Amino acid sequence: MKIFGIIASMNGENSREYQVIKKYVSNEKYKNDDIKIITADSLDIRYCRGCCSCFETGICPLDSIDDMKNIKKDLLEADLIIMSSPVYVHHVSGFMKNLIDRLGYWTHTFHLIGKPVIVCTSTGNSGAEYVISYLKKIMSALGGIVLGEITIDDMTPIEKIEGTFNSINEVVLEFLKEPDCINVSSFQHTLYKSLRMSLIEQSGYEHEYWRENDMFNYFTFKDYLLYRLNLHN
């Protein structure tokens, strides 16, 4: 299994998120897995220029000059994704927001359909709920199945976070064994339905992506999810 984690902190290996996530993936259960955890300081991700080429063609012109192409590849190949951002002024860090902007068009195509996701944040003392809620929403819009959340703060002892690790591990392993049992969020359900209704009438990249991936044949996100999971199993 491939585990891919992105930590939107410039503190690299000194980042609290990095240290906690490293500890999380060092669990015995993941000992045979291919694990890649990257931090913002090791990446060159340019700002979205707002050209909308990605929505229109599925191609971002910046992918050929920065690290985004490799990030997309790692996300698409991952069996478990960890998305983590420190709280910066009650929201995700600028790096994380920029990364999400560059993935924006995937929220119309559910490119990460069915991938289990863990979201994580690190905070001084406030704003964690906004970051967790935002990361959950975006990862769901990308098609991911958010199975766990980790909040790191000054007050929480590491033993308590380890308790969270154990409960997340159980949910993740259960999902990998029996993905069909998953409950999709009402947000994913509504998003899928409204995109399906508008894209079926249109032409262009997004319509073609939906057509090529048989998405118009499925009326609900859950039906499409099950179809894709069965294809992959």
- How far, in Å, CA of 137 to CA of 159, rounded? 28
Q: Is 17 in the site for ligand FMN (CB under 6 A)?
A: yes
- Footprint of ligand FMN on 63-102 (CB under 6 A): 86-90
Q: How far is the CB of 50 from ligand FMN (least distance, A)?
A: 24
Contact in structure between 46 and 83 (CB atoms under 8 Å): no
Q: Work out the number of other CB atoms within 10 angstroms of the CB of residue 69.
A: 13
Out of 3, 4, 6, 9, the residue judged to bind ligand FMN by CB under 6 A = 9
Contact in structure between 85 and 18 (CB atoms under 8 Å): no
- How far, in Å, CA of 57 to CA of 205, rounded? 5
The residues with which 19 forms a beta bridge, in sequence order, are none
> What's at 72, amino acid-wise?
K
Please, which residues have CB within 8 angstroms of residue 100's CB and are 6 or more apart in sequence? 92, 138
Q: Is 125 in the site for ligand FMN (CB under 6 A)?
A: yes
Q: Is 122 in the site for ligand FMN (CB under 6 A)?
A: yes
Question: Whose CB is nearest to ligand FMN?
Answer: 124
Q: Is 151 in the site for ligand FMN (CB under 6 A)?
A: no
Q: Which stretch binds ligand FMN (CB under 6 A): 15-23, 52-60, 158-166, 172-180?
A: 15-23
Contact in structure between 150 and 179 (CB atoms under 8 Å): no
Q: Is 15 in the site for ligand FMN (CB under 6 A)?
A: yes
Q: How far is the CB of 127 from ligand FMN (least distance, A)?
A: 4
Q: How far is the CB of 1 from ligand FMN (least distance, A)?
A: 25
Out of 123, 140, 169, 188, the residue judged to bind ligand FMN by CB under 6 A = 123
